[in-house]
Amino acid sequence: MKKFTTRFLEKYANDLIYQIANKLDDIEQEKVDQKLFKERVSYLPVFKSIKGEHIGTLSRKKYFFSKLKGKPFNPIEINDKKIDVVDIDENLDDVLIRLENSSGLILKIDGEYKKFISPRTVSDAFKNYTSKILFIEMVEIKIRENIKTSDINFIQSLKKKNQHIKNSKGDLKLVDDLTFSDYNLIYSDKWEEFNFRTNIVSKSDFLTNLSLISQIRNDLFHFRNKLDYDKKPFQEIINWLSN
């Protein structure tokens, strides 16, 4: 199976605000104040160049408490050593483990430091992912209800492609065993037997949306790192099946 990479998080990671310097001691306080407080970032990574060595990450929280204590500006003192660097093609499982032990992660894309991953980044990404899984579940519930209420002999359709057996014992599939491949075959074969309201949807439009949702489902379940899907096919099929 194709690995689920850090590309899954890219959309939700913040654009990186950083500082270029040869060493932490070279950084001017005015530039740090501008980026940590006026631009309101929690962390300010410092690199020798945009593709060069990561020499440290200044923490706004550490800097704030240092100011409260009246200490002079000292970049080394406010350096957070729990910031790690990850590549966009790294395995997501490994990256999440590293995030557990880090204050945050700097994301490299094509060799350049580009994004910042925080726990909130992960939360937003998985919230989005879960919402799409739930949309698919809603569509499946509606489809199965439609097949049941229309009293469709779906086994007859499935036999045409030898998709009617659910296990090695030879048991026939029940409605709850059906897959998107089965739905496409059933609606294509038995369209006239379904109780759709007159002119609410054409067979071709219904099957097109069903195929799109099936592809989205496959992308999600096989971790193809795609999240930007149009909700319209889901909403339309749910609407058609609810009327």
User: Edge-to-edge, what's the strand order for the sheet holding 83-87?
Assistant: 14-15, 112-117, 104-109, 83-87
Q: How far apart are the C-alpha atoms of 233 and 76, rounded to whole Å? A: 53
In-domain check, residue 197? yes
Domain that holds residue 34: 7-117
Q: Which of 117, 148, 169 is the last residue of a domain?
A: 117
Residue of 39, 45, 40, 12 whose CA lies nearest to 27: 45
Residue-wise over 72-88: b if at least 16 C-beta within 10 A, else e?
eeebeebbbeebbbbeb
- The model's pLDDT over 166-222, given as tens digits with 9 standing for 90+, comes to 999 999 999 999 999 999 999 999 999 998 887 899 999 999 999 999 988 888 876
Q: Which of 95, 117, 139 is the last residue of a domain?
A: 117
In-domain check, residue 1? no
pLDDT at 1: 38
Is it the case that residue 47 has pLDDT exceeding 70?
yes
Check whether residue 111 and residue 158 sit in a common domain: no
- The model's pLDDT over 125-150, given as tens digits with 9 standing for 90+, comes to 888 888 888 889 999 999 999 999 99
Q: CB 218: neighbour CB atoms within 10 A?
A: 11
Map 33-70 to HEC letters.
Answer: HHHHHHCCCCEEEEECCCCCCEEEEEEHHHHHHHHHCC
In-domain check, residue 144? yes
The pair of structure tokens assigned to 175 is 């409605």
Q: Which of 86, 117, 148 is the last residue of a domain?
A: 117
Check whether residue 68 and residue 130 sit in a common domain: no
Check whether residue 156 and residue 49 sit in a common domain: no
pLDDT at 196: 87
- Total domains, the chain: 2
Q: How far apart are the C-alpha atoms of 157 and 160, rounded to whole Å? A: 6
Q: How far apart are the C-alpha atoms of 63 and 75, rounded to whole Å? A: 8
Q: How far apart are the first and last CA of the chain?
A: 39
Check whether residue 71 and residue 101 sit in a common domain: yes
Check whether residue 65 and residue 127 sit in a common domain: no
pLDDT at 22: 95
Check whether residue 28 and residue 103 sit in a common domain: yes
Start-end of H helices in the chain: 7-10, 29-33, 60-68, 92-100, 119-149, 154-159, 180-190, 203-221, 232-242
Check whether residue 190 and residue 215 sit in a common domain: yes
Check whether residue 134 and residue 238 sit in a common domain: yes
In-domain check, residue 110? yes
- Write the CATH number for 52: 3.10.580.10
Check whether residue 80 and residue 151 sit in a common domain: no
pLDDT at 5: 79
Cβ atoms 146, 29 nearer than 8 A: no
Tokens 């199976």 map to which residue?
1
In-domain check, residue 75? yes
Check whether residue 108 and residue 140 sit in a common domain: no
Check whether residue 129 and residue 111 sit in a common domain: no
In-domain check, residue 2? no
- The model's pLDDT over 61-119, given as tens digits with 9 standing for 90+, comes to 999 999 999 999 999 999 999 999 999 999 988 999 999 989 999 999 999 999 999 99
